[in-house]
Structure 1
């Protein structure tokens, strides 16, 4: 309902992932139980890999994972796989399980195992209760009865024993489906392959790997198997029903390639002999070796999963249905409890209400807030603002909680064009309202390289295509460190007019396809447009969230907003959707215009006539359901198949041709279903109800289609008999060009008069519902003015809006002092020290008194901070301009923030690593050619602009930006020289401050590791920050290293760059620690990380000193003297964010020889 209705005449089935598995918990602190929500979950590769990394860590954590996917087959396959893994106690069936899940042609043994397993699952799942009591039911939960019914339908399809004509028909359908899939691939990609997935899967070792992956792709589609041996392939004589979606208009996605979900880049890296992949005789792998490596990795995941399950550390929950509807149902349950229904339908094309009736939702033991929310590629389907509005309230209010989204973006898009369209508004303004921060943008630092992908696309992609990168964004709560028992989002206070201007600008950007200028320019354009992802209900959903996030005179804001929309001429279709916007605002309790404040009276219009004539009490809005005969729908479906484009659909109410005053109202927030209708109650009364007996074949079936939507009652009373109701295509230049000749100027697919009893049904609510859908936003208990943990102060944040742009220009944070002691200090004129803790946090410290933190919902520019001190009124105000996206790239000293949260350090944008799990790159035996990929990968730390700063000292750049470049240059030098690809190799590197003429820290390097999950390399290192107190012990030991193979290689830099090093070191040490922080940890007692960046002062806490493996540097004679002062750390390249600037291209790659 919150996205435009698009005909699904063709759908693609994505049974397996096409990107390498990632650890879903890598951004969370260790040990703590994690609740995960996976929307558009796809296959379980990420879950298996996450469990594997947890199981092999120091303290495996309990995981509770809720999975939602709109495709029943995806969920049904996942449960089959998990059950097979759990039953295979010793791993004897790994090959058969691999065949069942990854091959669309399988041998006799694999088919027999599949049939046996599905028969077992069907016997155990006759009801939710029997499933819960089964051997799987406590660990594999199914969220509702309808999901179970649909999953069982797929299990029955998988396990059916087909013979004779049934088998021949089944094989023919699957073969035809694959042929059509390949035709689609040729249509979209031409004769050349789309190499983006292959490049991502093989990064950073792309060039050779991409060719091999292309060969494996062709093998898979030619033979239905990953096997390269002809004899083994010959046994695969059966079509695999696990690749045969039980739906006639769904085809296997043309990009499917089983090995893409595994870390096959490891096959191209010279791995040390201590790991199984390689040895000193490294060579390019054969195709069968790549497949075997993927199988081996799958086997280790399965073994780890069984161990995690055996330790009772994993719960999986599965829901089949629309991901946004599921999110709003969880919102509703969290806000109001399990009793009140949400009144959402479970998906877009059925009239099944969404009811979470698993007992864990009734007894509230199922999680409703999450540490991790992963939304896969749903932004492309729902739009970023839609998706984040639905999911932001489900994220816990903790510094480590993370929401992930992925999107395929063109690298030719400029930073501003990308940001302006992504969230339908100014980035800082919209993210403040969402209570989220895109971490990569705020820090301009990423743990993975997109530059590697774009560089290789230059070489491999067809010349007529555009560079694209997959952008994975981590969204987190604004930094709000502290020790409060319950974390909340503070409300943002607005003047009513200011908030109205913000919302009006968002409204305009939600509907670019309706923009008058754009319509004129694009009319007749040969390019296929992108489909719209928003309607007026989408905007109202955002308003619901904003209402719970802000403090203002709401009714005045809404009145001003509607006035701005009504008087804006840029969206010519706005007036035709005006009634829908007002209806949804009334429905959700946001605001009611006059037509919704009183009950319509039919006597005032046309007494005793029309479809509402016997209603006793006509509510302000009613549901209209239109039945569209299949015979009428058929030509539309045929046309969409012919041209390969399906426009959005909507409902239309239109005056009759005879009416003196012509009018038309459009309604895009609709629900669709297929089947036959049953009615209850008197036809023209308010007791009338309808139910739809569903046709499971939907678009490909033979039943009528039903379109249901809400309308204002007063419109139905204008012409209660002769006005018309239509299913139509939403007007757009493309729709007019392609469909006007067949369907007329109004693009109507079917039209019936309002009183047509066979096709038009008026009811109080939509079919199978007892109320209207619920959109909750944030829980009111979780949005409140913030009290500090000791109760000394209360803070409020007020936004100032630039009304010409609709952007927040500045914030005012008022700290109202409550403590009488602090009030007295303020009145007595105490000095106040000011300091910046981060771009989100400004600290005011009273002399001889406490410190107060002013937290902001978006980064501020510290150069614009003004402080107001009201000594008599006992408050402090911090006023600061908002840092716009153009400034975020240059926020000083904010690459790797680490905060103290609840007394413990929390990483904000640095993934945790378990170093013993990472394979070691064999630098001793690797040839120059074996490591040439590093010469391409490492420079992608730098963006296009940073390269320009490097090459041209006169190029425009802030001091902060230049400091970052110098910091990255030093790291590039360390990685390149230690790996041997450039310069003199060293094992120890020192950071020397030129201004202070003193050494600041020494870094010792043990190994270069391969981090396949993040597609990069990591230095296994130890650091000794040189403080005044340890100089007498450390300096003599360092001096003895001079002239040896371990001589320190000193890197001279400025004091500002030293600051960057000292702020990065705590993150590098925290990410890989295997030790625990002590009760008296200096981080906790001072609430500062690093402890200091001043010359000669301590940087790190003392908790990890000396916790170094005994074999770290066995050949260094003085290592024992140094190790007691050293802390282990994991250094990875700080890559520039594609959100901030363009990646480098091949023309700007540095020359390592010079």
Structure 2
């Protein structure tokens, strides 16, 4: 073998892949008018005229499919398409800032494309500059390609589901800028990753081997890690057959206690110490830890904190595992067009993982363990969303969360339902009011106003979950600052308490943001001074922890519903299921369902007789 020849040919091949786009003649690419070489990351702005988007006006009720932008390079034989899903959009005009060099601003349209046909849809995204130098490059606005989108829209939009496209060199529709244009004179700069400072003790690197089996599908089941011991005393102990012991210190973290040393081992997925084994390898001076990915998400056994929805307390308060929502930017859903709002039923039912679906079908709400409380919470969230729209009964704007032993512990006044475009879900925009005794006169005044409201019954474990969840729903949309005398700061606790009679949130947000005209409802006037705005949305399972759309979900899809507007088949009194037999229906309206005669009588006296409409 001629190594010199091979290395030489390899070097020639390597040269072909060097990023030499900067050496191209500027006259040959899209940056020919730039006075300076462009940075590595630039902003691409696509301006789609309003009249080109008539398709959106005709098909605008459902929250799917998503929009994406494509960069289409025609110089690769078959056109090469690069899809960008992280896109920002605004309605208006993108115009140059007077007196600046290459800075553009967005003059937003007053009411979007429905009322202002002169506005463009302005889409912007970040791209590597080297992607943009190809001759004949096109930029397009498309629907995200999915089998469902292709089936529904291929006839109108073509195989690529293109709504609008333009040549990258067409400055009437495409701009290449250093910064992303905004509504003020300061463009947004590209975020660049900066290497973090090295930790004082970076720890000992180790290799984790992950194994899956065909029968498990895409899920990972087993993980192995080998820890290398260093000191002579540890090596001697290893030679004697000492294995060491493990203890769980976090959902994904074990501590290995060996001889006089302790090693912290972090896995990429949750584990249980009870499913862990330790083996000593004296020849390689290594300790092997084998563990299983936990399929039982337990707050007791899995090392999880008691709070499912913790609030981080650093320079400010922020939810840890619930994303933020900018309510002023989210489009409002018109719930008056209920014939077009069938999708929220499927959307809210998709909250359940397969494990939770089985729990929902097989256990009465009162029989579920604390580890299964999220099933109850998700069922209550489905009730809030569906009954606000009026898919099951209603529509209802006011809900009272009720503890079966202590009475009301929270009132929720809903202003609207919005699309969370970034999260791919919906958000209820309510104000929440504690159900405390000191507010009895205020609540009495509201109840006497005659506005209909609905009770959502909860169990003791679910009350605690709601007490943790409500502060997170408030913090995710907070636009105000916490006051110096904030109860969170003075007590050092979030939530402030989990007992039914304790308000879990601070008072800093009372009435903040509730002076707009949409909140000027006479029936709500008395409660606004004590209310805090929140953003309530469904909670979804994650596929890397447990099966989400598996056999249990497919089984539910095969069950033909009586009506497209009906929620999952649960008792309207206790949220339970009648195992082995169908639920009984109300003889008058044929909608309400009950697992027993007792539940039917209780629900009739408390609520249903006021809303039941014969068919």
Scaled to the shorter chain, the TM-score interval is: 0.5 to 0.7
Matched residues in 2 for 1:1124 and 1:1039: separation? 17
Matched residues in 1 for 2:497 and 2:271: separation? 22
1:1056 aligns with 2:465: no
1:1004 aligns with 2:391: no
Matched residues in 2 for 1:1075 and 1:1111: separation? 15
Matched residues in 2 for 1:274 and 1:982: separation? 35
Post-superposition Cα deviations, 1:631-672, rounded to whole Å, max 9, x if no partner, equal xxxxxxxxxxxxxxxxxxxxxxxxxxxxxxxxxxxxxxxxxx
Post-superposition Cα deviations, 1:799-828, rounded to whole Å, max 9, x if no partner, equal 7369xxx9947899xxxxxxxxxxxxxxxx
Alignment of 1:960-975 (within 5 A): 960-975=370-385
Matched residues in 1 for 2:362 and 2:176: separation? 49
Distance 1:860 1:260, change over 3 A: closer
Could you say which structure has the higher helix fraction? 1
1:413 aligns with 2:216: yes
1:1101 aligns with 2:511: no
CA contact (8 A) 1:203 1:1015 kept: no
2:483: which partner in 1? 1078
1:895 aligns with 2:308: yes
1:511: which partner in 2? none
Unaligned runs of 5+ in 1: 1-69, 81-111, 126-135, 143-150, 152-201, 226-239, 267-272, 319-326, 337-383, 390-408, 426-501, 505-542, 544-551, 565-797, 813-856, 864-881
Say which SS state the counterpart of residue 405 (structure 2) adopts.
Answer: coil
Question: How many residue pairs align between the two structures?
Answer: 424
Matched residues in 2 for 1:987 and 1:1126: separation? 15
1:503: which partner in 2? 226
Say which SS state the counterpart of residue 885 (structure 1) adopts.
Answer: coil
Distance 1:1115 1:945, change over 3 A: same
CA contact (8 A) 1:893 1:1059 kept: no
Shift of 1:1067: 0.3
CA contact (8 A) 1:259 1:291 kept: no
1:886 aligns with 2:295: yes
Matched residues in 2 for 1:558 and 1:203: separation? 67
Shift of 1:1086: 1.3
CA contact (8 A) 1:992 1:999 kept: yes
CA contact (8 A) 2:269 2:545 kept: no
Say which SS state the counterpart of residue 383 (structure 2) adopts.
Answer: helix
2:405: which partner in 1? 995
2:56: which partner in 1? none
1:943 aligns with 2:348: no
Say which SS state the counterpart of residue 457 (structure 2) adopts.
Answer: strand
Say which SS state the counterpart of residue 348 (structure 2) adopts.
Answer: helix
Post-superposition Cα deviations, 1:1059-1104, rounded to whole Å, max 9, x if no partner, equal 1111100000000011111122111121111111112222111110
Length-normalised TM-score, structure 2: 0.56
1:1022: which partner in 2? 431
Post-superposition Cα deviations, 1:237-292, rounded to whole Å, max 9, x if no partner, equal xxx8x6658xx9xx876xx365766589x9xxxxxx9853558xxxx985399755
Matched residues in 1 for 2:544 and 2:393: separation? 32
CA contact (8 A) 1:411 1:1142 kept: no
CA contact (8 A) 1:898 1:1089 kept: yes
Say which SS state the counterpart of residue 535 (structure 2) adopts.
Answer: strand
Distance 1:302 1:1093, change over 3 A: farther
Say which SS state the counterpart of residue 1008 (structure 1) adopts.
Answer: strand
1:1146 aligns with 2:554: yes
Alignment of 1:510-521 (within 5 A): none
Matched residues in 1 for 2:421 and 2:165: separation? 13
Distance 1:559 1:979, change over 3 A: farther
Shift of 1:1037: 2.5
Aligned equivalent of 1:1034, options 428, 442, 465: 442
Matched residues in 2 for 1:994 and 1:956: separation? 11
Distance 1:300 1:946, change over 3 A: farther
1:306: which partner in 2? 181
1:124 aligns with 2:36: yes
Alignment of 1:288-327 (within 5 A): 291-292=162-163, 305-307=180-182, 310-311=185-186, 314=189, 316-317=191-192
Say which SS state the counterpart of residue 1110 (structure 1) adopts.
Answer: coil
Shift of 1:115: 3.6
Higher relative contact order (CA 8 A, sep 6+): 1
Matched residues in 2 for 1:291 and 1:1064: separation? 41
CA contact (8 A) 1:899 1:906 kept: yes
Alignment of 1:106-121 (within 5 A): 115=28, 117-120=30-33
Matched residues in 2 for 1:1076 and 1:947: separation? 40
Matched residues in 1 for 2:214 and 2:344: separation? 22
Alignment of 1:827-838 (within 5 A): none
Alignment of 1:37-186 (within 5 A): 115=28, 117-120=30-33, 124-125=36-37, 140=39
Shift of 1:979: 2.2
Distance 1:1137 1:1106, change over 3 A: same
Post-superposition Cα deviations, 1:362-383, rounded to whole Å, max 9, x if no partner, equal xxxxxxxxxxxxxxxxxxxxxx
Larger radius of gyration: 1
CA contact (8 A) 2:350 2:540 kept: yes
Matched residues in 2 for 1:1000 and 1:923: separation? 27
2:326: which partner in 1? 914
CA contact (8 A) 2:221 2:292 kept: no
RMSD: 5.4
Post-superposition Cα deviations, 1:201-229, rounded to whole Å, max 9, x if no partner, equal x99855xx59xx9xx99xx9xxxx9xxxx
2:474: which partner in 1? 1069
Matched residues in 1 for 2:231 and 2:331: separation? 57
Distance 1:887 1:1124, change over 3 A: same
Shift of 1:958: 5.8
1:905: which partner in 2? 317
Aligned equivalent of 1:276, options 97, 109, 112: 112
Distance 1:562 1:908, change over 3 A: farther
Matched residues in 1 for 2:298 and 2:61: separation? 25
CA contact (8 A) 1:1000 1:1026 kept: yes
Say which SS state the counterpart of residue 1001 (structure 1) adopts.
Answer: strand
Alignment of 1:867-886 (within 5 A): 885-886=294-295
Matched residues in 2 for 1:861 and 1:410: separation? 20
2:394: which partner in 1? 984
Post-superposition Cα deviations, 1:16-40, rounded to whole Å, max 9, x if no partner, equal xxxxxxxxxxxxxxxxxxxxxxxxx
CA contact (8 A) 1:900 1:1089 kept: no
Shift of 1:923: 1.4
2:263: which partner in 1? none
Post-superposition Cα deviations, 1:591-642, rounded to whole Å, max 9, x if no partner, equal xxxxxxxxxxxxxxxxxxxxxxxxxxxxxxxxxxxxxxxxxxxxxxxxxxxx
Alignment of 1:698-709 (within 5 A): none
Say which SS state the counterpart of residue 305 (structure 1) adopts.
Answer: coil
Matched residues in 2 for 1:203 and 1:555: separation? 70
Matched residues in 2 for 1:1048 and 1:858: separation? 43
Unaligned runs of 5+ in 2: 1-15, 43-59, 92-108, 116-151, 167-172, 259-267, 275-290, 567-590, 594-615
Say which SS state the counterpart of residue 534 (structure 2) adopts.
Answer: strand
Post-superposition Cα deviations, 1:1035-1074, rounded to whole Å, max 9, x if no partner, equal 2233224xx3x32201111222111111100000000011
CA contact (8 A) 1:1001 1:1025 kept: yes
